[in-house]
Amino acid sequence: MSEEKSLNFLEEIIEKDISNGLKTIQTRFPPEPNGYLHIGHAKAITVNFSLADKYGGKTNLRFDDTNPVTEETEYVESIKNDIKWLGYNWDAEFYASDYFDTLFEYAVKLINKGLAYVDDSTSEEIAELKGTPTTVGTDSPFRNRSVEENLKLFSEMKEGKYKDGEKVLRAKIDMSSPNMLLRDPIIYRIKHAHHHRTGNKWCLYPMYDFAHGQSDSIENITHSICTLEFVPHRPLYDWFIEKLEIFPSHQYEFARLNLTYTVMSKRKLLQLVNEGFVSGWDDPRMPTISAFRRRGYTPESIHMFCEKIGVARRENLIDVGLLEFCAREDLNKKAARTMVVLDPLKLIITNYDKNSSEILKGENDPANPDDTRDVHFSSELFIEREDFMEIPEKKWFRLAPGKMVRLKNAYIVECENFIKDDAGNLTEIHCRYIPESKSGSDVSGINVKGTIHWVSAKHAVDAEVRLYDRLFTEENIAAAEGHFSDYINPSSLIEVNAKIEPALLNAKVGEHFQFLRKGYFCVDKDSTSQKLVFNRTVTLKDTWVKKSK
RNA sequence: UGGGUUAUGGUGUAACGGCAGCACUACAGAUUUUGAUUCUGUCUGUCUAGGUUCGAAUCCUAGUAACCCAACCA
């Protein structure tokens, strides 16, 4: 008997519906194709797909493409690609624009029932008459047109007789409602614009509120799950379904994802791209799905993250460290180990034959010692500059004058000397090695505290490594004063020329590695046959850095 | 000054009138040829004030705070 895992509020709703006789459930993921999917969408995708999956239902992909001026096919393709990459398979692929004919008929039905009217007022006049949250609105002078006149005008709107903004169709609800959305909302507006799917067929398009719920209904969506800012729309959602007498889909809302050190709104992301703060939608510092993919996050790590953050109705600000934890958790199992020196410092082994070299076994997977690769060893190596301290601080396990360390997969060395240039910069470390301390056959009897990574200087290959850090310096950007661009982290990207093992030359774009002691990295698409480019996905957890501060 | 929504450790999320649990973080220790991983342990919480009850995070009353709503965006 295993412990029952507690249900989230949506699962509770669904189980109640099922116990009340609901046979199957149907959900949908409804992106607007006007931008790239981000990690917040990943949460919504996970919620919709996993709920349907758990209760034996299906999930549709439906593009909410009711605004032709902002929507593009490029976005449709990227969205589909990202959902597939996350590992989800939608049942049917729909577009709100598939329903434009039906929606138009629905509008006619509303007019016939005396529940919609054509308004000639200007945008400003409509806003003026709408009132404010604390004062009631006023009826439009066109509110009581006859059904016949409304029908005639509406079909003329469709025929293109009027210019943009000249007329709108409004639902006739209640101009004094405390819910602003119920004050005769606009349901159709004229836009003489080319639509990415319907071309120039239409010159008037339904608004969100007159498309979304009806689309849900047409697809027999049982649970229409959206974010909290749509709560005030729910009465309207229900009103249209009731008046139209169509399948009763129901809307449920959850709190959207917020991440520390991250902006999430499409508007701000678009601004980051357009104003050149990042190189594009898939710049690895962006919170988009395509950026996480490029940075080296796996679908599994994102699933784990979505699982861990849960779903509820309260505002939240998730520590981006949790996402990093999920990446490490997954990559630790998957990424082959390799030795890469990011900031090279020459180490010369004084008692090793200059003209000689040997091939050692490098561990690819600490959980499986038999999984090895060839690693070249010679008298001149590169080690990490930060692994040597001229005057070691207390509890320093790495190299320092007179100190010994293990070279991973190789020998123990003892530092005998170091050389500086005229400017006082370290240029070389001189060590002697202990021949009988060879990895795997160590009979030296010496125990050292520290192990460092290295590459053989004459075998090493140059590679570009992009060290990414968070894009912003402020934890809660929404709550911070000023503009979000005031908080851009100036060192969110540092490019270094690293020394890599030649074994890495076979690496494929997207392949994951752990650079020993440095972090998880993945091969970037900018790599060429001349030079590999690696992105740092995430650093390793480092308790030493924290302690020594 | 209107309406809606939400309040549980530093951050998330459970507990549905009956021992406030889990995860991340932080801290301490063990192991370690990655100061990683793994393992063990520790700290930290029910928005406030009343009330109902043998018993309240949970029910009631009154406050407080945060977020959303006045695009021909979604």
- pLDDT band per the 50, 70, 90 thresholds, residue A547: confident
A 132-171, residues with C-beta < 7 Å of strand B: 132-134, 164-165, 168
Average pLDDT over residues A381-406: 96
Q: How many domains does chain A have?
A: 3
Domain that holds residue A375: 340-453
- Reduced to 3 states (helix: H, G, I; strand: E, B; else coil), residue A73 is helix
Q: How many Å apart are CA A420 and CA A139, to the nearest integer?
A: 84
E strands present in A233-331? 250-254
Q: Check residue A4 and give its pLDDT.
A: 57
Q: Are residues A326 and A363 in the same domain?
A: no
Q: Are residues A246 and A101 in the same domain?
A: yes
Q: Are residues A404 and A468 in the same domain?
A: no
The answer to whether some atom of strand B lies closer than 7 Å to the beta carbon of A21 is: no
Q: Are residues A277 and A316 in the same domain?
A: yes
Name the nucleotide with the smallest C1'–CA separation from A133: B2
Average pLDDT over residues A367-387: 96
Neighbours of A238 (CB within 10 A): 15
Average pLDDT over residues A144-150: 98
Q: Are residues A289 and A212 in the same domain?
A: no
The answer to whether some atom of strand B lies closer than 7 Å to the beta carbon of A322 is: yes
> In sequence order, what are the residues at sequence separation of 6 or more whose Cβ sits closer than 8 angstroms to the Cβ of residue A160?
A192, A203
Residue A158 lies in a domain: yes
The answer to whether some atom of strand B lies closer than 7 Å to the beta carbon of A208 is: yes
Q: How many Å apart are CA A223 and CA A252, to the nearest integer?
A: 7
- pLDDT tens digits, residue range A70-122? 989 999 999 999 999 999 999 999 999 999 999 999 999 999 999 999 999 99
Name the nucleotide with the smallest C1'–CA separation from A132: B70
Amino acid letter, A406: R
Q: How many Å apart are CA A364 and CA A336, to the nearest integer?
A: 5
Q: How many Å apart are CA A316 and CA A131, to the nearest integer?
A: 32
Residue numbers of A annotated as active site? 32, 256, 266
Q: How many Å apart are CA A339 and CA A42, to the nearest integer?
A: 33
- pLDDT tens digits, residue range A21-50? 999 999 999 999 999 999 999 999 999 999
Q: Are residues A399 and A516 in the same domain?
A: no
The answer to whether some atom of strand B lies closer than 7 Å to the beta carbon of A392 is: no
Q: What is the mean pLDDT of chain A?
A: 96
- pLDDT band per the 50, 70, 90 thresholds, residue A549: low
Q: How many Å apart are CA A359 and CA A440, to the nearest integer?
A: 13
The answer to whether some atom of strand B lies closer than 7 Å to the beta carbon of A1 is: no
Residue with tokens 């510092």: A285
Residue A4 lies in a domain: no
Q: Are residues A177 and A111 in the same domain?
A: yes
Query: For chain B, which bases have at least one atom within 7 A of a protein Cβ?
Result: 1-8, 10-16, 23-28, 33-38, 66-74
Q: Are residues A50 and A133 in the same domain?
A: yes
Which of A403, A425, A453 terminates a domain? The answer is: A453
Is the ipTM higher than 0.95? The answer is yes
- pLDDT band per the 50, 70, 90 thresholds, residue A3: very low
Name the nucleotide with the smallest C1'–CA separation from A164: B72
* H helical segments located in A396-459: none
pLDDT above 90 coverage of chain A, percent: 97
Query: H/E element holding A202?
Result: none
A61 dihedral zone (left: phi>0; alpha: psi -120 to 50; beta)? beta
Q: Are residues A405 and A535 in the same domain?
A: no
Closest protein CA to C1' of nucleotide B6, residue = A314
Average pLDDT over residues A411-427: 97
pTM for the complete prediction? 0.96
Residue A286 lies in a domain: yes
Neighbours of A129 (CB within 10 A): 18
A 430-469, residues with C-beta < 7 Å of strand B: 437-440, 442, 450-453
Q: End-to-end alpha-carbon separation of chain A, Å?
A: 48
Distance A470 CA to B8 C1' (A): 30
Name the nucleotide with the smallest C1'–CA separation from A227: B68
Which of A453, A476, A498 terminates a domain? The answer is: A453
CATH of the domain at A421: 2.40.240.10
Q: Check residue A209 and give its pLDDT.
A: 98
Q: Are residues A403 and A468 in the same domain?
A: no
Which of A400, A420, A453 terminates a domain? The answer is: A453
Residue A490 lies in a domain: yes
Residue A449 lies in a domain: yes
Q: Are residues A69 and A41 in the same domain?
A: yes
- pLDDT band per the 50, 70, 90 thresholds, residue A546: confident
The answer to whether some atom of strand B lies closer than 7 Å to the beta carbon of A14 is: no
